[in-house]
Amino acid sequence: MIIPERLKKGDTIGVIAPASPIIGDNIEELEKARKKVEKEGFKVKYSKNLFLNTNGYSSTAKEKAQDINDMFKDKEVKMIWCAKGGENSNSTFEYIDYELIKDNPKIICGYSDITSLTNIITAKTGLVTFSGTNFKTIATDETDYSYEEILKRFVKGSLELGKNGEKYETLKEGQAEGELIGGNLSLIRALVSGKYSIDFTNKILFLEELGIETMPSLASNFLYYMKQNGVFDKIKGLWIGFYEHESGISLEKVILDTLENNYDFPIIKSNNFGHTETKTVIPIGTKARIDTTKDKKIELIENCVK
């Protein structure tokens, strides 16, 4: 495990767009986010290809990967913050220099489509990466919850997940310890097998999904694929995040329908990560403990920044 250094005031944050392009209103939103971060005392550096839309639906895989590699190589940059989500961060996988990342470890953070990238980087390098709000989102959120979680984790080095008093539900009782792995359900499903896959053995898996794109039946499809490929035979615990669909059917219902009470690991639910206003920062690759007897049913048990 490689732990990145924490962020300090005056440090430079590099911004990349490994998923959908930064076009239209996104440009103004990015500038608002930049001003907010600079006001906090940080410097912001945009990647070379940040505003390209070469393919008409995003920049090319090589352009995106060049920005990832360049930001890890750049000694001035202390944190890499992904601008927004989208659909095709996985296009970069074959062009990323994983040895370069090992030699230049630093914070990299994002959510939604970005969790495919962060999980692969952790799997290939051992670097602890992070599921947390995207850069653009701090300009469009109605509150500063998610931005404050970024500062709490990366500047202060806090191990607290979310804020005090947040509601956690127990769906299956138990205790478990393991490294955290996961993110957006549709993307984690895509990392189950093949050349670019991740190891679920003895992990605590966290999952969320965007309801307007993934109806309950499609979530079921993803989960059964994971079940049929042995994912739930390997994990130590399951943490479910935010999901909202117009049908009113919850992600936890779909998961429990899929698992059919055939597994012994604890399952918990909260609304403090995912496609929601309240996004805590979850490290990928560090250990956590689930204990369903406690009010806050999951806690980090080792440092994720140093």
What confidence tens digit (pLDDT) does each residue in 267-296 have? 999 999 999 999 999 999 999 999 999 999
Query: 182 falls in which pLDDT band (50, 70, 90)?
Result: very high
Query: 207 falls in which pLDDT band (50, 70, 90)?
Result: very high
Contacts of 267 (CB under 8 A, 6+ apart): 170, 171, 172, 237, 238, 239, 240, 252, 255, 256, 259
User: What is the enclosing helix (H) or strand (E) of 15?
Assistant: strand 12-16
In tens, the pLDDT along 83-115 reads 999 999 999 999 999 999 999 999 999 999 999
- The 8-class DSSP code of residue 6 comes to P
pLDDT given for residue 31 in this prediction: 97
CB atoms near residue 62 (< 10 Å):
14
CA distance 13 to 20: 20
pLDDT given for residue 19 in this prediction: 97
What's the whole-number mean pLDDT along residues 202-230? 98
Say if CB 3 and CB 306 are below 8 A apart: yes
Closest CA to 282 of 176, 184, 140: 184
What's the whole-number mean pLDDT along residues 224-241? 98
CA distance 260 to 263: 8
pLDDT given for residue 119 in this prediction: 98
pLDDT given for residue 262 in this prediction: 94
- For residue 123 the two structure tokens come to 């799997």
Name the 3-class secondary structure at 95. Answer: helix
Backbone φ and ψ for 14, nearest 5 degrees, come out as: -95, 135
What's the whole-number mean pLDDT along residues 235-245? 98
Query: 146 falls in which pLDDT band (50, 70, 90)?
Result: very high
CA distance 115 to 210: 13
pLDDT given for residue 251 in this prediction: 97
- For residue 96 the two structure tokens come to 């990323």
Strand partners, 82: 16
What's the whole-number mean pLDDT along residues 154-165? 95
What's the whole-number mean pLDDT along residues 112-134? 98
Burial class (CB in 10 A: 0-12, 13-18, 19+), 238: buried
How many Cα neighbours within 13 Å face the side chain of 96? 22
Say if CB 174 and CB 292 are below 8 A apart: yes
Contacts of 261 (CB under 8 A, 6+ apart): none
CA distance 39 to 147: 13
Closest CA to 199 of 142, 261, 119, 131: 119
- The domains of the chain, with CATH numbers, are 12-154 (3.40.50.10740), 168-300 (3.50.30.60)
In tens, the pLDDT along 24-45 reads 999 999 999 999 999 999 999 9
Say if CB 235 and CB 137 are below 8 A apart: no
What's the whole-number mean pLDDT along residues 143-172? 96
